[in-house]
């Protein structure tokens, strides 16, 4: 299946620091999604991106749809302890097609 | 966005038995999806379930092992059959929320096979 690579695989940061993570693909996608998964829960959608170059914010989170359509980026500003979790990107080639999920970035915020 | 109720939330099962997982959505949706998340791994699509037709399975997944029902537009079940320890995973159902809401997931079923 399609492989989406996320980096970094894990991050340990101090509370208040900014976070950046990215997701790359060998294929072009028309939609990018970013999810957060807490332990024992299903993934929760954070941001959806539908257009190359699009920059979308959700509170302290900002995500960008890469201009090549093969990558996407997620930034978290001024991290807080509740940001802890695993962040997944997901890409879709076209409407009705399946979403392929990235390998995940585990975020730990140290108070 | 749609609200999904999935049950059971967790179960411990004996090898060789089967478990049926239920997924209830609070609104009518055309497509429902079943994912597997193995320990420490990402999500892998098992199959897509449309109401009124056979589910479409992804490579590596077969109907005999993971039979799916989709009797109406708000409900689906996934059965994990003849379980082995390798089936220990989180199983998640998801719907296409559309209207810019992307995919919504249930809280998952954590399955342990002993």
When CB atoms are compared, the residue of A40, A48, A103 closest to B42 is A103
- The confidence score (pLDDT) of residue A1 equals 61
Q: Scanning every residue of chain A, which has its alpha carbon at the shortest distance from the alpha carbon of B50?
A: A96
**B44 contacts A40? CB cut-off 8 A:** no
Nearest to A95 by CA among B2, B96, B58, B94: B96
**Predicted pLDDT at A99:** 86
Question: Encoding tokens for residue A15?
Answer: 């509370």
Q: Which residues of chain B have pLDDT under 70?
A: 97-102
Tell whether B8 lies on the interface with A, counting CB pairs under 8 A. no
Write out the residues of chain A at the interface with chain B, using a CB-CB cutoff of 8 A. Answer: 1, 31, 33, 35, 40-45, 48, 50, 88, 90, 96, 98-99, 101-104
Q: Enumerate residues 6+ apart whose C-beta is below 8 A from B111.
A: B10, B11, B13, B19, B80, B83, B87, B88, B89, B90, B91
Contact B46, B67 (CB under 8 A): no
The tokens describing B95, both together, are: 């719907």
Helix (H) or strand (E) holding A4: strand A4-7
pLDDT of residue A67: 93
pLDDT of residue B98: 60
| Weakly modelled stretches of chain A, pLDDT under 70 | 1, 96
Q: What's the pLDDT score for residue B102? A: 66
Contacts of B44 in chain A (CB under 8 A): 1, 101
Task: Tell me whether residues A43 and B44 touch, CB distance under 8 A.
Answer: no
C-alpha pair distances (Å), B41 with each of A37, A80, A98, B37: 12, 25, 18, 6
* Confidence at residue A97, expressed as pLDDT on a 0 to 100 scale: 74
Sheet holding A61-65, edge to edge: A4-7, A19-25, A71-76, A61-65, A55-58
Q: Do A48 and B102 count as a contact with CB atoms less than 8 A apart?
A: yes
């Amino acid at each position: 299946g399609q492989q989406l690579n996320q980096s970094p695989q894990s991050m340990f940061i101090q509370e208040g620091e900014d976070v950046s993570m990215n997701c790359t693909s060998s294929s072009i996608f028309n939609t990018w999604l970013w999810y957060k998964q807490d332990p024992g829960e299903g993934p929760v959608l954070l941001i959806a991106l539908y257009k190359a170059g699009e920059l979308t914010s959700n509170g302290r989170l900002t995500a960008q749809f890469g201009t090549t359509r093969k990558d996407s980026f997620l930034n978290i500003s001024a991290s807080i302890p509740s940001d802890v979790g695993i962040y997944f990107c997901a890409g879709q080639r076209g409407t009705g097609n399946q979403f392929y999920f990235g390998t995940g970035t585990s975020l730990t915020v140290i108070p | 966005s749609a609200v999904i109720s999935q049950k059971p939330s967790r179960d411990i099962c004996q090898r060789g038995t089967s478990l049926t997982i239920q997924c209830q959505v609070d609104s009518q949706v055309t497509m429902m999806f079943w994912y597997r998340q193995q320990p420490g791994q990402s999500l892998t699509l098992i199959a897509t379930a449309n109401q009124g037709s056979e589910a479409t399975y992804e490579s590596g997944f077969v109907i005999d092992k993971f039979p799916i029902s989709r009797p109406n537009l708000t409900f689906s079940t996934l059965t994990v059959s003849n379980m082995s320890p390798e089936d220990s995973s989180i199983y998640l159902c998801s719907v296409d929320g559309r209207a810019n809401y992307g995919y919504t997931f249930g809280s998952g079923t954590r399955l342990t096979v002993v």
